[in-house]
Amino acid sequence: MIDTLSHLPRPDAGAAELADRFADLAPPLTARQAALESARCLYCYDAPCINACPSEIDIPSFIRNISHENVQGAAQTILSANILGGSCARVCPTEILCQQACVRNNAQECAPVLIGLLQRHAIDNAQFSEHPFQRAAASGKRIAVVGAGPAGLSCAHRLAMHGHEVVIFEAREKAGGLNEYGIAKYKLVDDFAQRELAFLLQIGGIEIRHGHKLGDDLSLSELHQQFDSVFLGIGLAASKRLGLADDAAPGLLAATDYIRELRQTDDLSQLPLARRCIVLGAGNTAIDMAVQMSKLGADDVNLVYRRGLSEMGATEHEQAIAKDNQVRLLTWAQPEQVLLDDQGQVRGMRFARTRLDNGRLQATGETFELAADAIFTAIGQAFDGAALVDPLARELQREGERIWVDAQLRTSLPGIYAGGDCTALGQDLTVQAVQHGKLAAEAIHAHLMLTVEAA
């Protein structure tokens, strides 16, 4: 249980009712719906949807396969580009990626082809008798992958395909990273992250060692000596702090900590419930937190952001989900003071109203207060510098907080690669992390084969 919220009550609804509330956000297409939707695709030459997909899935090709009732072929096409295509179909912001780029996304057509749902249909309905990708002949090379999130798993799978042996070091008791611990429960239901992991591991040649953390019982120096290459997929493990007095008071918690607890519990009725709730932030994590608290039975949920709606990281689609779940979106308000009751527990927050002045955010001088039983911060994740404390790790070139990499995901140290959120490349999206892992694996493989030929 989350200690800082232990004083809060539990939901009124029972476990069964709450489970229903957290059912699949976007129910899958039926075969008939998939057939009709796939028929809308124009199979564009130089399709803009492919260019908008970070993992470069051949979208027209897999949709054509669906229209020809070849679901197996559609899934094979998707997975060859994105081995985590099932989870990406569920969590990708398709509304700002492939579907936004769809040529049918215009006023005359009214709506783009529902690419995300078609991708999910293909993956969910393909019935492979064996893993669709086979390992090449053993290369004799061993690669260490640090972090079993989307980037690490994608990298490991592609390396295994090339015949390399891979050891993944993962700090937590389950693999999956963000998909397992950080996504709203209603987006990835039925333990999908673990089922997708089991499918990925069927290729063989991949070992996962749990309970090992870089900077704790692992050092980059040792991994570099013991393995032929190292891939770092360590993500952003730390939550940013408010920097206000009393920001560690009972009732104030990082949203990611609560979401992790929610995703791992078998009985939602045992979670602490803030009947009056404030969520600070503007991204998808803030939306996920606010919506889930509302689904648990909160009476008053306020998501507060210091700028305007148009500047929120969360898409309009995500904002609509929040509104549909009675979440109030309050903008142009900046946290000023955590308000405590006589027991030292959170009772609310004071905010300063803000505005833009010549492009800079300024306080107007006005303030207001919101009552709350708990405050959840979703103001961003930070790089955990403690992971890179050994002498070799300290030599890694940084770009801001994150690890610098080139276009081939190579760090400044030979033989060490990195990808996903711990780098400054691209957007902090699951699909982007998958692509990083895939590209890094190809770069690692190419380098290792060159050294073999040279020998």
* pLDDT, tens digit, 9 for 90 and up, residues 121-167: 999 999 888 899 999 999 999 999 999 999 999 999 999 999 999 99
pLDDT of residue 354 exceeding 90, the answer is yes
Query: How many other C-beta atoms can be found within 10 angstroms of the C-beta atom of residue 295?
Result: 23
Residue 148's pLDDT is: 97
- As a whole-number percent, the residues of the chain with pLDDT over 90 amount to 88
Nearest residue to 24 via CA among 262, 270, 190? 190
- Is residue 2 within 8 A of residue 253, CB to CB? The reply is yes
- Is residue 352 within 8 A of residue 183, CB to CB? The reply is no
Place of tokens 């902090």: 428
pLDDT of residue 96 exceeding 70, the answer is yes
3-state class of 422 per DSSP? helix
3-state class of 148 per DSSP? coil
Query: How many other C-beta atoms can be found within 10 angstroms of the C-beta atom of residue 375?
Result: 27
Q: Which residues of 413-433 are buried (b: 16+ CB within 10 A; e: fewer)?
A: bebbbbbbbbbebeebbbbbb
Lowest-confidence range among 105-109, 182-186, 443-447?
105-109
Reported as a single tens digit per residue, the pLDDT across 235-251 is: 988 888 898 999 899 99
CB neighbours of 83 closer than 8 A, spacing ≥ 6?
A: 133, 153, 154, 157, 158, 200, 434, 438
User: 31-125 with 239-380: one CATH topology?
Assistant: no
Cα–Cα distance for residue pair 350/348, rounded to 1 Å: 7
Cα–Cα distance for residue pair 247/253, rounded to 1 Å: 8
pLDDT of residue 454 exceeding 60, the answer is no
Cα–Cα distance for residue pair 368/378, rounded to 1 Å: 21
- Please give the CATH architecture assigned to the domain spanning 31-125: Orthogonal Bundle (1.10)
Q: Which two tokens stand for residue 138?
A: 């053993």
Cα–Cα distance for residue pair 113/90, rounded to 1 Å: 15
Lowest-confidence range among 89-93, 95-99, 169-173, 387-391?
387-391
Most confident listed range (78-87, 123-132, 358-367): 78-87
Residue 1's pLDDT is: 54
Query: How many other C-beta atoms can be found within 10 angstroms of the C-beta atom of residue 346?
Result: 27
Query: How many other C-beta atoms can be found within 10 angstroms of the C-beta atom of residue 52?
Result: 18
Domain spans of the chain? 31-125, 142-237+383-454, 239-380
pLDDT of residue 97 exceeding 90, the answer is yes
Residue 452's pLDDT is: 65
Q: Which two tokens stand for residue 62?
A: 């897999």
- Is residue 124 within 8 A of residue 28, CB to CB? The reply is yes
pTM of the entire structure?
A: 0.95
- 59-67 vs 31-38: helix axis angle to the nearest 10? 120
Question: Hey, what amino acid is at 120?
Answer: R
The H or E element spanning position 157 is helix 150-161
Reported as a single tens digit per residue, the pLDDT across 27-64 is: 899 999 999 999 999 999 899 999 999 999 999 999 99
Cα–Cα distance for residue pair 305/139, rounded to 1 Å: 52
Cα–Cα distance for residue pair 199/176, rounded to 1 Å: 12
pLDDT band at 10 (very low <50, low <70, confident <90, very high): very high
Cα–Cα distance for residue pair 323/287, rounded to 1 Å: 10
- Is residue 148 within 8 A of residue 209, CB to CB? The reply is no
Strand arrangement, sheet containing 229-232: 206-210, 165-170, 142-146, 229-232, 416-418
Place of tokens 């400044």: 412
Reported as a single tens digit per residue, the pLDDT across 385-434 is: 888 899 999 999 999 889 999 999 999 999 999 999 999 877 779 999 99
pLDDT band at 332 (very low <50, low <70, confident <90, very high): very high
CATH code that applies to domain 239-380: 3.50.50.60
Instruction: Name the superfamily (CATH) of residues 142-237+383-454.
Output: FAD/NAD(P)-binding domain (3.50.50.60)
* Adjacent-strand bridge partners of 224: none
